[in-house]
């Protein structure tokens, strides 16, 4: 049995995997339970629920979880650049999927929609205007979120494979 050595390389890889997995889980729950659940609400209640959830999720812990992989994935790839080619490329792939499919989609897609929704005063909105706003928001936000769910899950899977490759030196070289 090999000795388990906890070094800076392993810490970086484990933290990358942890934060990516946490976010993939959050996105999975939103995709499979939260958005379908609030999707059954009337337009004003839907918009109000979304506003409240957006306000609640913006907190320091969430920022740590969503931002950390952006820096830790490339760091992990750099630290493992001389290891198995499979392991290195799995981490690079995870980093690319995360950056493009989570971070970029969030920044250019979901956040602008959230800002648009935040500007709406729901205490003064008409039923017709609520329907128009929901129609502008819901399908587009959910489609963008599905991209984030899939890419964060793929990124997480690649990082798990990298962790397994680290423990098994005979895996794909």
pLDDT the model gives residue 70: 97
**pLDDT tens digits, residue range 4-21?**
667 899 999 999 999 999
C-alpha span between 33 and 154 (Å, rounded):
20
Rounded to 10 deg, the angle between the 85-98 and 8-29 helix axes is: 40
**pLDDT tens digits, residue range 118-165?**
999 999 999 999 999 999 999 999 999 999 999 999 999 999 999 998
Grouping H, G, I as helix, E, B as strand and the rest as coil, residue 42 is coil
Whether pLDDT at 171 is above 50:
no
Mean pLDDT taken over the chain = 93
C-alpha span between 158 and 17 (Å, rounded):
9
**pLDDT tens digits, residue range 74-118?**
999 999 998 778 999 999 999 999 999 999 999 999 999 999 999
Of all residues in the chain, what percent carry a pLDDT higher than 70?
92
- Domain boundaries of the chain, sorted by first residue: 8-63+79-167
C-alpha span between 104 and 163 (Å, rounded):
25
Between the CA of residue 43 and those of 25, 113, 121, 124, 146, what are the distances in Å? 27, 16, 13, 13, 21
């Amino acid at each position: 049995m090999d000795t388990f050595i906890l070094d800076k390389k392993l810490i970086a890889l484990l933290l990358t995997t942890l934060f990516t997995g946490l976010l993939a889980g959050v996105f999975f729950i939103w995709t499979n339970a939260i958005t379908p659940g609030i999707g059954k609400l009337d337009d004003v209640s839907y918009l109000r629920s979304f506003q409240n959830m957006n306000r609640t999720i913006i907190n320091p812990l969430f920022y740590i979880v969503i931002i950390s992989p952006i820096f830790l994935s490339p760091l992990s790839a750099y630290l493992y650049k001389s290891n198995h080619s499979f392991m290195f490329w799995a981490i690079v792939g995870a980093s690319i999927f995360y950056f493009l499919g989570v971070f970029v989609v969030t920044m250019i897609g979901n956040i602008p929609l959230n800002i648009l929704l935040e500007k709406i005063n729901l205490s003064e909105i008409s039923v017709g205007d609520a329907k128009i706003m929901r129609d502008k928001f819901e399908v587009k936000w959910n489609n963008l979120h599905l991209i984030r769910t899939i890419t964060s899950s793929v990124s997480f899977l690649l990082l798990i494979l990298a962790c397994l490759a680290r423990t098994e030196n005979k895996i794909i070289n």
